[in-house]
Amino acid sequence: MAIDPLTKQEFSPSRANQLFANRRNQISYNNKKQSEKRKQKASIDAILSKNRDILLEALDGKNEIIIPEQVLISSGLVPKYHTHSIKIENKVCPSIYEIILQKQDNGTIKIIRDGKY
């Protein structure tokens, strides 16, 4: 006998590795887990999405631009939120999805679409 993780009911498994009483319970259980995971990440994902939108708007179809950092921040960019980092010219640059932010010495940021550096 086994206990179904979703319903907590006892059932007789037909396979040695069967965890759920039926396929519907398995799908419901996994959907519930993923829904909880999405809820936990929602606030951060929203910031990342907004950051990406701001950067794409600043790029305006170009592959690379240089813009004052303060302009991006006043547009609502939250610089501490990024998806990964890439090393360019011995500098570690934050990236938001396919967009790289390379800080310049004069208070500007070079925004580069990944693959164009």
- Phi, psi of 35, deg, nearest 5: -60, -45
**CA 55, 56, 60 angle in degrees (round to 5)?**
115
* CB 21, CB 9: distance < 8 Å: yes
Look at residue 116 in the predicted model and tell me its pLDDT. Answer: 53
Token output for 41: 């990440």
The pLDDT, as a whole number, for residue 89 is 86
How much is the pLDDT for 22? 97
Give residue 115's pLDDT. Answer: 67
**Average pLDDT per consecutive 10 residues, the chain (117 residues; last block may be shorter):** 96 96 98 97 97 96 94 95 93 95 94 76
The whole-number pLDDT of residue 114 equals 85
What confidence score (pLDDT) does residue 26 get? Answer: 98
User: Model-level pTM?
Assistant: 0.77
Distance of alpha carbon 54 from alpha carbon 51, whole angstroms: 5
Q: What does the block give as tokens for 114?
A: 């990944």
